Amino acid sequence: MKICKNLDPKNEIISLNDWLSKCPPQGGKRHWVDGRSSKDTALYWLQGTPKEFTDILKKFNLTFELCSPELVTKIDRYQGNSRNHDLLILAKNSNSERVVISIESKVDESFGNTIGSKLRVIEKLKQKGTPTNVDKRIEILKRAIFPNVYQDIFESIRYQLLTAIAGTLSEAKKQEAKKAIFIVQNLPTSAVPSKKHLNNQLDFDYFIKVLTNGNHHSISDNELLGPFLFTGNDFIPNNIELWIGKYSVDISTPIK
C-alpha cells in the first residue's frame, strides 16, 4: 500500500518529513509532537501496513492500494471544514469492488464536544452576530443518519463521531465504493492517564448504542460491527454498507 497526499500515487510519502510537509495536522507543528496522534500515527504507519489493521479486516479479503493522511471530505453543501480523516484508505475486495476505510486515531485526544455542547456554542455565536452553518449541518446529518433518535439522546453523542461516519460514507459514495468502513485506532501509552482512554471508550460505546438502537451496548478491541445502512441524502448514500471497528496498539515502547 502506498502512502500519498490526496490519494495521488505520484505524490508519495516515505518519511516523517514528507508526512509533515505534505499532510500536516490541522494544528500544524503545534500538534506534531511525540505522544499526539498525528505524529504517532505517522511513525506507526511508515513502518508498513499495521498487522492490527489488516487483522480486523481479514474477513473482507481486501487488497490495500492507497492511504492518505488528513484527507478532507465534504459532507454537505456548506463551506468550512467538513471531515478531516486521520487516514483515508482505498482498497478493493476479491471482486475488484472499491472499499473505503477511514481511520480516526487517538492517543490522548478525546472525541471532542457533544452535539448538545456544540449547539449551545453555535447559539451564542449567532447571538453575537457571528455567521455559522454548523447547526444546519447537524440537522442535516441527523435526518440522514439518526432520523428516529430523540433529540436529547442525539445531542449526547460526540460531534466528531457523527462527522466521522458522515465523512466515511460521503467519501465512499464519491469513490463509488461497495463498502465503507470506519475504524478507531487507539494508540495508548503509559504517559496518558487511563481515565482518558476510559472516557473515549465510554463515548464510543454510547455512540454505538445509539447507532444500533440498543442492539449493541459497546464495541471491543478487534471487533467489527455491521453492516449498517442509513436514510441518506445527496452526500450520504443510502445503499452503501457501513462497518465500524476498533483496535488498540500499545506504543509505550518508542517506535523507531
Side-chain-side CA neighbours of 192 within 13 Å: the count stands at 23
Q: Which residues pair with 84 in a beta bridge?
A: 72
Helices (runs of H) and strands (runs of E) counted in the chain: 8, 7
Q: Which residues touch 173 (CB under 8 Å, ≥6 apart)?
A: 235, 236, 237, 240
**pLDDT band with cut points at 50, 70 and 90 for residue 195:** confident
Q: Is the pLDDT of residue 253 over 80?
A: no
Domain residue spans in the chain?
A: 2-248
Structure confidence at residue 256 (pLDDT):
42
State the DSSP code for 158: B
In this structure, are residues 1 and 66 in contact, taking their beta carbons and an 8 Å threshold?
yes
More confident residue, 255 or 192: 192
**How does the average pLDDT of the chain come out, rounded?**
93
The per-residue pLDDT for 182 is 98
How many CB atoms are closer than 10 A to CB 254?
8
**192: confidence class by pLDDT, cuts 50, 70, 90:** low
Cα 97 to Cα 113: distance, rounded to the nearest angstrom: 36
User: Mean pLDDT, to the nearest integer, of 195-204?
Assistant: 90
Q: Examine the pLDDT at 255 and tell me if it is beyond 50.
A: no
Instruction: Note the pLDDT of residue 79.
Output: 83
What's the predicted TM-score (pTM) here? Answer: 0.95
Q: Beta-carbon neighbour count of residue 247 at 10 Å?
A: 22
For the segment 104-130, the average pLDDT, to the nearest whole number, is 93
Reduced to 3 states (helix: H, G, I; strand: E, B; else coil), residue 159 is helix
E strands, 107-240, are 179-186, 223-228
Reduced to 3 states, what is the DSSP secondary structure of residue 218? coil
Task: Report residue 5 CA to chain centroid gap.
Answer: 17
Q: In the sheet where 83-92 sits, what is the strand order? A: 2-3, 63-73, 83-92, 98-106, 179-186, 241-248, 223-228
pLDDT, tens digit, 9 for 90 and up, residues 21-59: 999 998 888 889 888 889 999 999 999 999 999 999 999
Q: What was the pLDDT predicted at 196?
A: 83
Q: How many CB atoms neighbour CB 2 within 10 A?
A: 16
pLDDT at 108: 80
Strand stretches in 125-238, DSSP E: 179-186, 223-228
